Chains A and B, each alone.
Chain A
Amino acid sequence: MASDKCWICDSECSAEDNFCRICGAELTHQMAVEPNRPPMDRHLSVGIFLLAFGGITAAVSLLIGVTPTLALGLASLLIGIMTLYLPEPTDRLAERLARDSSVPALLNIENLLDELSLNEKGIYIPATGLGVCPKVFVPLAQTSLNRRPPLDLNNSRRVFITLDEKTRAGGVLLEAPGRNLLSELELALKLDFSKVEISELHEKLESGLKLLDISKSVVLDREGDLTFTFQTELTAFGDLEVNLSTLTPRVFTQVGTPVPSAIAAAVSKSTGEYVAFRQVSINPTDKKITATLELVR
């Protein structure tokens, strides 16, 4: 049986395990393995062959003056151009499929927030550890207990949380929509954001998001003690984020869609503080997200 190593504690794991038996971290077998891509896209090889065949046949036929073979060459040239031009590259298609698959999950969260009339902002509960993402607690109402829910909620698998039986203080505990994106960032940078100084966070986030080809630029400013503003111009997730801002407005403004959520989670980990969105917006034209985060104390 093939074996693998945990990317956090470095212990031996079975290739069939999804979680490390020692530290419980989610294993990333597929990340360690190079994607099994064919050396050349099928359309590309057929297209190049038809272009070469058509070009040579047409040129030779033109020189010797044979019309049917000239037509054959031109037709091959045209079909070659179509073969290269019309099909969408399979990796881009797979990327879009993966992105589109996340929409129903966020629509479910949107419906849940709507059904329960949860209007409060989600609070990111600070977490530590490489690949560990803070969970988001959306309180039913603003109370002192709800503002800073217990840290051990990060280990909970429950959704509906009651913090106090008497006052019925509680809310909904959600996985952060940017959970896996944050893990990818930490994996790509090989660092745990909870060990990153807040002064270095901007640089690390920018290099990580550029490395994953998610955004062109990141601006992260601290305004006073409790407020952060960030602005990022998206590349890969641009269309998805614009769609989500209209399809799931509650998730977009209260919890955060994948990219803002991952940044909020990174800020929460780095500062070790509870974090909530104060304001978030996206410009559909240049796919620029602007958000204000607030440290909840």
Chain B
Amino acid sequence: MLLLVRTIDSFLITYAALVYTSIITLSLIGVEALDVYVALSVILFFVAAELTPTFSPRNSRKKAILEVVLLAIFAVIVIERVIGILT
């Protein structure tokens, strides 16, 4: 069980490291579109979750809720982009 607690911490640390690194990198490149940052943060959430896969059943349920919310945000961004291209 203690291993699972450490896994939650390692997931949060991995995710924070990936997100902050990507934000710094994107800002250095000169990206100004907010949806790029948000979309990348969502993708990095799934990457971090896959890198640290062991969640307890209780945490897995919580993670699934977060995944649905983030996926919905990602879908909104993609749909908005597609509509922008089409119109």
Contacts and interface: CB of A to CB of B under 8 A. Distances in A.
Contact of B37 (A71, A79, A82, A86): A71
Interface residues of B, number: 26
B56 A88 contact: yes
Contacts of B63: 86
Given A75-B41, A79-B19, A85-B62, A67 B5 contact: no
A224 interface: no
Which of A72, A78, A88 gathers the greatest number of chain B CB atoms within 10 Å? A78
Contacts of A85: 62, 66
B34 A70 contact: yes
A42 to B, nearest CB: 9
Interface string B17-47: 0011001001100011110011001000000
Query: Which DSSP category, helix, strand, loop or mixed, fits chain B's interface?
Result: helix
A68 B5 contact: no
A40 interface: no
Contacts of B31: 67-68
Nearest to A75: B19
A177 B31 CA distance: 64
A74 B37 contact: yes
A75 B20 contact: yes
A88 B58 CA distance: 8
Given A79-B16, A86-B8, A86-B63, A71 B38 contact: yes
Contacts of A70: 34
B72 to A, nearest CB: 14
Interface in B1-19: 1, 5, 8-9, 11-12, 15-16, 19
A83 B15 CA distance: 11
Contact of B1 (A68, A74, A86, A93): A93
A92 B62 CA distance: 16
B62 A67 contact: no
B20 A72 contact: yes
B7 to A, nearest CB: 10
Nearest to B40: A71
Counting chain A residues whose Cβ lies within 8 A of the other chain, the interface size class is 10 to 19
Contact of A79 (B9, B12, B58): B12
A71 B42 CA distance: 12
B37 A67 contact: yes
A97 interface: yes
Given A82-B12, A93-B1, 4 more contacts: A67-B34, A68-B27, A71-B37, A88-B56
Interface of A: 67-68, 70-72, 74-75, 78-79, 82-83, 85-88, 90, 93, 96-97
Interface of B: 1, 5, 8-9, 11-12, 15-16, 19-20, 23, 26-27, 31-34, 37-38, 41, 56, 58-59, 62-63, 66
Considering the complex of A and B, which 7 residue pairs feature the smallest CB-CB distances, nearest first?
A68-B27, A71-B37, A75-B19, A87-B8, A67-B32, A79-B16, A71-B23
22 contacts: A67-B34, A68-B27, A70-B34, A71-B23, A71-B26, A71-B34, A71-B38, A71-B41, A74-B37, A74-B41, A75-B41, A79-B19, A82-B12, A82-B15, A83-B12, A85-B62, A86-B66, A88-B5, A88-B58, A93-B1, A93-B5, A96-B1
